[in-house]
A and B are shown apart, each in its own frame.
Chain A
Amino acid sequence: MKKKILSLLLASAMVVSMAACGESGNSGTAPEQPAEQTETKEEAKEEAKEETKEEPAAEEPAAEPSELTDGKFAETRKITVEVYDRGNDGGSDPENNMYTEYIKKGMLEQHNVEVTFKKVPRWTEVDDINNLLAGGEAPDVCVTYSYPTILTYADMGGVIDLAPLLDQYKSELPNLWAWLGDENIYWDKDPKTGTVWAVEGRRFEQQRIVTFVRQDWLDKLGLQAPTTTQEFEDMLVAFRDNADTLLGKDAKKMVPFSISKDVGWRAANIITSFMDPSISDKDYYINGFDDRMVTEPQTKEAVRLLNKWYNDGLMRKNFSLAPDDTEEDDMIKAGYVGAFQHNWDMPFRNGEDSYNANLARNVGPDAKFVAIDPFTNSAGKHAKWLYSTAGDRKSFFPITNQEPLASLLYLDFISQPDVIKYLQIGDEGVTHEVLDSGAIQIKAAEGDAIQNSGKNIDMTITCNGAYYGDKDLAALSLSYGYAGIDPELVDNASKIAMTDGLTPKNVNVGTIEAEAGVGDTLSAKRDQAYDLSVECAAADFDKVWDDAIADYLSSGGQAIIDERTEKWAEYFGDSDMLP
Chain B
Amino acid sequence: MSKPMPAKKKVKFGVYMKRYWQLYAMLALPLIYLFVFKYLPMVYVQIAFKKYSIVKSIWQLPLAKNHGFEYFIKAFGNNDFRYALRNTLTLNLLDLLFGFPAPIIFALILNELCFQRYKKVVQTITYMPHFLSWVIIYSLALQLLTPETGFINMLIENLGGTSIPFLNDPAHWIGSYIAFGIWQNFGWGSIIYLAAISGINPELYEAAAVDGAGRFRKMWHITLPGIRPTIVVLLIMNLGNILGGGFDRPFAFQNNLVMKVADVIATYVYRVGIKGLQFSLTTAVGLFQSVVGVVFLLMANWLSRKLGDRGIW
Q: Which residues of A contact B (CB under 8 A)?
A: 3-4, 7, 10-11, 14-15, 18, 21-22, 25-32, 34-35, 37, 39, 41, 44-45, 47-49, 51, 126-127, 130, 133-134, 149, 152-153, 156-158, 261, 317-318, 320-323, 399, 517-521, 524, 527-528, 531-532, 535, 551, 554-555
Contact = CB atoms under 8 A, between A and B. Distances in A.
A153 B54 contact: yes
B80 A527 contact: no
B279 to A, nearest CB: 6
Given A7-B25, A11-B29, A156-B54, A126 B275 contact: yes
A44 B272 CA distance: 28
Contact of B277 (A3, A27, A35, A152): A152
Contact of A321 (B22, B142, B278): B142
A29 B58 CA distance: 11
B168 A321 contact: yes
A27 B168 contact: no
Contacts of A320: 168, 255-257
Interface size grouping (class) on chain B: 35 or more
Given A7-B25, A321-B167, A157 B55 contact: yes
B47 interface: yes
13 contacts: A28-B41, A29-B47, A35-B57, A48-B60, A48-B61, A130-B274, A130-B277, A156-B55, A157-B56, A322-B142, A518-B276, A524-B271, A555-B78
Interface in B128-179: 138, 142, 146-149, 167-168
Contact of B57 (A32, A41, A317): A32
> Which applies to chain B's interface (DSSP): helix, strand, loop or mixed?
helix
Contact of A318 (B55, B57, B146, B282): B146
A321 B163 CA distance: 15
B147 A317 contact: yes
A35 B41 CA distance: 13
Given A149-B277, A320-B255, A555-B80, A535 B168 contact: yes
Contacts of B58: 30, 32, 34-35
Contact of B53 (A15, A157, A321, A519): A157
B220 interface: no
Interface in B185-212: none
A531 B55 contact: no
B129 to A, nearest CB: 20
A532 B52 CA distance: 36
A19 B201 CA distance: 39
User: What are the 3 tightest A-B residue pairs by CB atom distance, in nearest-first order?
Assistant: A35-B57, A48-B62, A28-B41
A521 B277 contact: no
B259 A29 contact: no
Interface string B73-89: 00000111000000000
Contact of A532 (B63, B256, B279, B282): B256
Contacts of A317: 147-149
B283 A29 contact: yes
B313 interface: no
Nearest to B269: A29
Contact of B62 (A10, A35, A49, A524): A49
A49 B60 CA distance: 10
Contacts of A15: 29
A153 B55 CA distance: 9
